[in-house]
Amino acid sequence: MRKRVAFTLLRTAIESGWSVPDEAVQEGVGTALDIMRNTEAGSRDRIRAAELLLSVRQREADRLMRFVEIEDEIQRRINHETKFGD
Protein backbone atom coordinates (compact mmCIF):
# COMPACT_ATOMS: atom_id res chain seq x y z
CA MET A 1 0.00 0.00 0.00
CA ARG A 2 2.73 2.46 0.91
CA LYS A 3 4.56 1.94 -2.38
CA ARG A 4 1.35 2.47 -4.32
CA VAL A 5 0.79 5.80 -2.57
CA ALA A 6 4.43 6.80 -3.08
CA PHE A 7 4.20 5.90 -6.78
CA THR A 8 0.98 7.87 -7.14
CA LEU A 9 2.52 10.93 -5.47
CA LEU A 10 5.70 10.72 -7.53
CA ARG A 11 3.74 10.19 -10.76
CA THR A 12 1.47 13.16 -9.95
CA ALA A 13 4.50 15.34 -9.25
CA ILE A 14 6.16 14.35 -12.52
CA GLU A 15 2.99 14.79 -14.57
CA SER A 16 2.36 18.19 -12.95
CA GLY A 17 5.81 19.39 -13.98
CA TRP A 18 7.09 19.81 -10.44
CA SER A 19 10.81 19.92 -9.90
CA VAL A 20 11.51 16.38 -8.74
CA PRO A 21 15.15 15.53 -8.05
CA ASP A 22 16.53 13.01 -10.53
CA GLU A 23 17.74 10.88 -7.63
CA ALA A 24 14.15 10.50 -6.34
CA VAL A 25 12.92 9.64 -9.82
CA GLN A 26 15.66 7.04 -10.32
CA GLU A 27 14.92 5.48 -6.93
CA GLY A 28 11.25 5.28 -7.87
CA VAL A 29 12.12 3.74 -11.22
CA GLY A 30 14.32 1.13 -9.57
CA THR A 31 11.59 0.18 -7.13
CA ALA A 32 8.99 0.12 -9.92
CA LEU A 33 11.16 -2.19 -12.00
CA ASP A 34 11.61 -4.50 -9.02
CA ILE A 35 7.85 -4.66 -8.56
CA MET A 36 7.25 -5.30 -12.25
CA ARG A 37 9.73 -8.20 -12.14
CA ASN A 38 8.16 -9.67 -9.01
CA THR A 39 5.56 -12.20 -10.13
CA GLU A 40 4.09 -12.24 -6.62
CA ALA A 41 3.42 -8.49 -6.53
CA GLY A 42 -0.22 -7.51 -6.40
CA SER A 43 -1.90 -6.25 -9.53
CA ARG A 44 -2.55 -2.80 -8.03
CA ASP A 45 1.12 -2.41 -7.14
CA ARG A 46 2.14 -3.49 -10.63
CA ILE A 47 -0.32 -1.05 -12.23
CA ARG A 48 1.00 1.86 -10.14
CA ALA A 49 4.57 0.85 -10.95
CA ALA A 50 3.76 0.75 -14.67
CA GLU A 51 2.06 4.15 -14.46
CA LEU A 52 5.16 5.60 -12.83
CA LEU A 53 7.42 4.14 -15.51
CA LEU A 54 5.22 5.62 -18.24
CA SER A 55 5.26 9.04 -16.55
CA VAL A 56 9.05 8.97 -16.30
CA ARG A 57 9.33 7.99 -19.96
CA GLN A 58 7.06 10.90 -20.93
CA ARG A 59 9.13 13.26 -18.77
CA GLU A 60 12.28 12.21 -20.59
CA ALA A 61 10.58 12.58 -23.99
CA ASP A 62 9.44 16.08 -23.03
CA ARG A 63 12.99 16.99 -22.00
CA LEU A 64 14.37 15.74 -25.32
CA MET A 65 11.78 17.76 -27.24
CA ARG A 66 12.80 20.90 -25.33
CA PHE A 67 16.43 20.26 -26.31
CA VAL A 68 15.42 19.88 -29.95
CA GLU A 69 13.42 23.12 -29.80
CA ILE A 70 16.39 24.96 -28.27
CA GLU A 71 18.76 23.58 -30.90
CA ASP A 72 16.33 24.59 -33.66
CA GLU A 73 16.08 28.12 -32.24
CA ILE A 74 19.86 28.43 -32.03
CA GLN A 75 20.23 27.21 -35.61
CA ARG A 76 17.53 29.63 -36.77
CA ARG A 77 19.33 32.55 -35.11
CA ILE A 78 22.68 31.50 -36.57
CA ASN A 79 21.14 31.32 -40.04
CA HIS A 80 19.47 34.70 -39.58
CA GLU A 81 22.68 36.35 -38.40
CA THR A 82 24.66 34.79 -41.24
CA LYS A 83 22.11 35.93 -43.78
CA PHE A 84 21.59 39.46 -42.48
CA GLY A 85 24.79 40.09 -40.53
CA ASP A 86 23.01 41.15 -37.32
According to the model, what pLDDT value does residue 37 have? Answer: 94
Looking at the structure of the chain, the number of domains it has is: 1
Q: From CA 38, how far away is CA 61, in angstroms rounded? A: 27
For 72-85, b/e burial (b = at least 16 CB within 10 A) is eeeeeeeeeeeeee
According to the model, what pLDDT value does residue 71 have? Answer: 95
What does the pLDDT look like over 3-18, one tens digit per residue? 677 878 888 999 898 8
What does the pLDDT look like over 18-70, one tens digit per residue? 888 989 899 999 999 999 999 999 999 899 899 999 999 999 999 899 999 99
Q: Which domain holds residue 44?
A: 2-84
pTM recorded for the entire structure: 0.75
